[in-house]
Structure 1
Amino acid sequence: MKRIFIAARSNPEHMAELFRSELPAHEVFTQQPQPGDAPVPYIVVGRPTPGVIAAVPGLELVLSLNAGIEHLLASGEVPDHLPIVRLVDDGLADGMSDWVLAHALAWHRNLATYADLQAKREWAPQQEKLARERTVAVLGAGALGSQVAGHFVRFGFKTRVWSRSGRPIDGATSFAGRPALMDAVSGADILVNLLPMTSETANVVDATVLNALAKGAFFINGARGGHVVDADLIDALDRGQVSGAALDVFRTEPLPAADPLWSHPKVLLSPHVAAPTHAHTAVAEMAENIRRFERGEKLPHLVDRTLGY
């Protein structure tokens, strides 16, 4: 009987029960393995405390609870020979799409402005545009970015997608590589960041990118806080170059109480909940990956350490 160690910090027993239902022939447990224990081929882990992964005997596969795995690589705790599988499931993609579209459409149709006007009892119609008169630039063409971009296309927005590879998205214009970044964002009304966090994408949303957007553009970040130069974003907001920002991720989480983003009038914050892991969809995907691994099949979303995702 092969063993699965659930090292999730949040409600591991619930996840273990779901795994037992999916893989009844496996032993699933949530207590840290001890020296001399039977081998544990599989670990399910999010952001582990130091030493957790290294202490697991006989490990063969690391199943990430997150789409982003930079924390696993940065810790140095996953030996180079061990494969890591990113979590890419319908629940994550659907959640991110909901969150991004909610903010984008609310800005597009002036809903926050009308809420402010309502509070002041002011009747002041704003300029309204059709979706086809707006340009959206999505940074990232992975499982999250491609789905989000597809929704923008279906809503009628002129959609651009920028990524390392230039992956084509039906109905959108694709841009590949760092030299094409400015072409992708120039004049965009809405900028959405859904990039993986790597050394090449760190600080990618800086003053140069923000100043290239259309005057009064809206910025949405659902990826990682390290993608954004916060001082540049605040400056762009203060100058009106960017009219607002929806931020779900930050360099330090929880966001420190003294951080100026908390009180900025043009910033909408959420506590890293844009695409939470939904246990039932996540476990179904991870269990299928274990079945694939045991059948000797190629695993989807296997981390390429040279790329960082």
Structure 2
Amino acid sequence: MTLNVLFAANEYRWQQYQDPLRDAFANAGLAVDLFTETDSPEIMDYIVFAPNGTVSDFSPFTRCKAVLNLWAGVEQVVGNQTLTQPLCRMVDAGLEEGMVEWVTGHVLRHHLGMDAQITQQDSAWNPVVPPLARDRTVTILGLGALGRACGEALAALRFNVVGWSASQKDIPGLTCLSGDDGLAEALRQAEIVVLLLPLTDATANLLNAERLALMPKGGVVINPGRGALIDDDALLAALNAGHIAHATLDVFRQEPLPGEHPFWAHPNVTVTPHIASETRPATASQVIAENIRRGEAGEPFLFLVDRAKGY
């Protein structure tokens, strides 16, 4: 039986994914016809989806067995009332590895004081020796696949890693906290805080003025998660007051970040253009093929989204 799969993303993504998807389907033993547009939505068996793609109304896809999101985040589609099919988010090895590399690199940058070392001028010999990693606490907010992987990598470097999640987790090598009291305690210890939470009603503006004030003076904020996890005005106020020493931000409420946004000009803000981690077509295609194989075999889908939680 040949399956019909609609690739509902933009042309740029199609150029990236068409060959890896075909290879992954062949390796999984699946006979698939790939479409980038259709006048017959009722014949589609699966949709590979990106929010900037070609589908916003899922109701005509009456035969569709699942919508397979290309990204880890699903906040732009999970509330779509026409989406009644199972929705799977993307969790792939390439994305995880890329995030670990980016987070570890920027934690080490701030831990070692690399910015100050690089920008020394006037031949000033000013040796500043950082503490050892074991004497530095890094807090990870969000202990899903990405947060756990980053926490484990930092713990392997001997950082004292505190992780927080909405529900209690148990991860060897990490101090795991949960709930409101746990969040407050995690932030009180956070010399460096890394945000890797999904964006939901419960996490929007999670890092607000009150919670930033809980962090030790001179703390650092690193956000490769979602822009709206942070109250921008509260962060700028904490930076201007000197309570937060630096913020390294990869994600923003509006992207690209508008040229007039104060983050660009702030001396204690590093802006990176949403590059912390990218879904890799080769590994992501394997996840998509495996989920379609599972759907055809009657097995549970991988990374199925809980609509009530929003991720």
Same fold per TM (> 0.5)?
A: yes
Q: CA deviation at 1:74?
A: 3.4
* Structure 1 position 205 matched with structure 2 position 210: no
1:1-309 paired onto structure 2 within 5 Å: 1-9=2-10, 10-24=12-26, 25-35=30-40, 39-47=43-51, 48-49=53-54, 51=56, 53-79=58-84, 82-117=85-120, 119-309=121-311
Q: CA deviation at 1:168?
A: 1.3
Q: CA deviation at 1:50?
A: 5.5
Percentage identity across paired residues of the two chains = 36
User: Separation in 1 of the partners of 2:54 and 2:183?
Assistant: 36
User: Separation in 2 of the partners of 1:250 and 1:93?
Assistant: 20
Give the CA RMSD over aligned residues: 1.6
**Contact 1:207–1:236, Cα closer than 8 Å, also in 2:** yes
SS at match of 1:308: coil
**Contact 1:84–1:302, Cα closer than 8 Å, also in 2:** yes
Q: CA deviation at 1:57?
A: 5.0
SS at match of 1:70: coil
Aligned partner letter, 1:90: A
Q: CA deviation at 1:49?
A: 4.7
TM-score normalized by the length of structure 2 = 0.93
Unmatched tracts of structure 1, length 5 or more:
none
User: Separation in 2 of the partners of 1:88 and 1:280?
Assistant: 13
Judged with a 3 Å threshold, the aligned counterparts in structure 2 of structure 1 residues 248 and 155 are, in CA distance, closer, same or farther, namely same
SS at match of 2:76: helix
Unmatched tracts of structure 2, length 5 or more:
none
User: Separation in 2 of the partners of 1:141 and 1:230?
Assistant: 23
Q: CA deviation at 1:262?
A: 0.9
User: Separation in 2 of the partners of 1:90 and 1:120?
Assistant: 45
User: Separation in 1 of the partners of 2:128 and 2:80?
Assistant: 49
Aligned partner letter, 2:5: I
Encode CA deviations 1:215-252: one digit per residue, 9 max, x unaligned: 10111001101100001111111111111111010011
Judged with a 3 Å threshold, the aligned counterparts in structure 2 of structure 1 residues 54 and 248 are, in CA distance, closer, same or farther, namely farther
User: Separation in 2 of the partners of 1:130 and 1:285?
Assistant: 39
SS at match of 2:6: strand
User: Separation in 1 of the partners of 2:33 and 2:249?
Assistant: 36
**Contact 1:194–1:221, Cα closer than 8 Å, also in 2:** yes
User: Separation in 1 of the partners of 2:89 and 2:215?
Assistant: 32
Judged with a 3 Å threshold, the aligned counterparts in structure 2 of structure 1 residues 30 and 50 are, in CA distance, closer, same or farther, namely closer
Encode CA deviations 1:124-169: one digit per residue, 9 max, x unaligned: 1124110011111100010000000101111111111100112111
TM-score normalized by the length of structure 1 = 0.94
User: Separation in 2 of the partners of 1:285 and 1:264?
Assistant: 40
**Contact 1:61–1:83, Cα closer than 8 Å, also in 2:** yes
Q: CA deviation at 1:77?
A: 4.0
SS at match of 1:174: strand
User: Separation in 1 of the partners of 2:117 and 2:81?
Assistant: 49
SS at match of 1:74: coil
Q: CA deviation at 1:31?
A: 2.5
SS at match of 1:192: strand
User: Separation in 2 of the partners of 1:77 and 1:193?
Assistant: 31
Aligned length: 305
**Contact 1:34–1:55, Cα closer than 8 Å, also in 2:** no
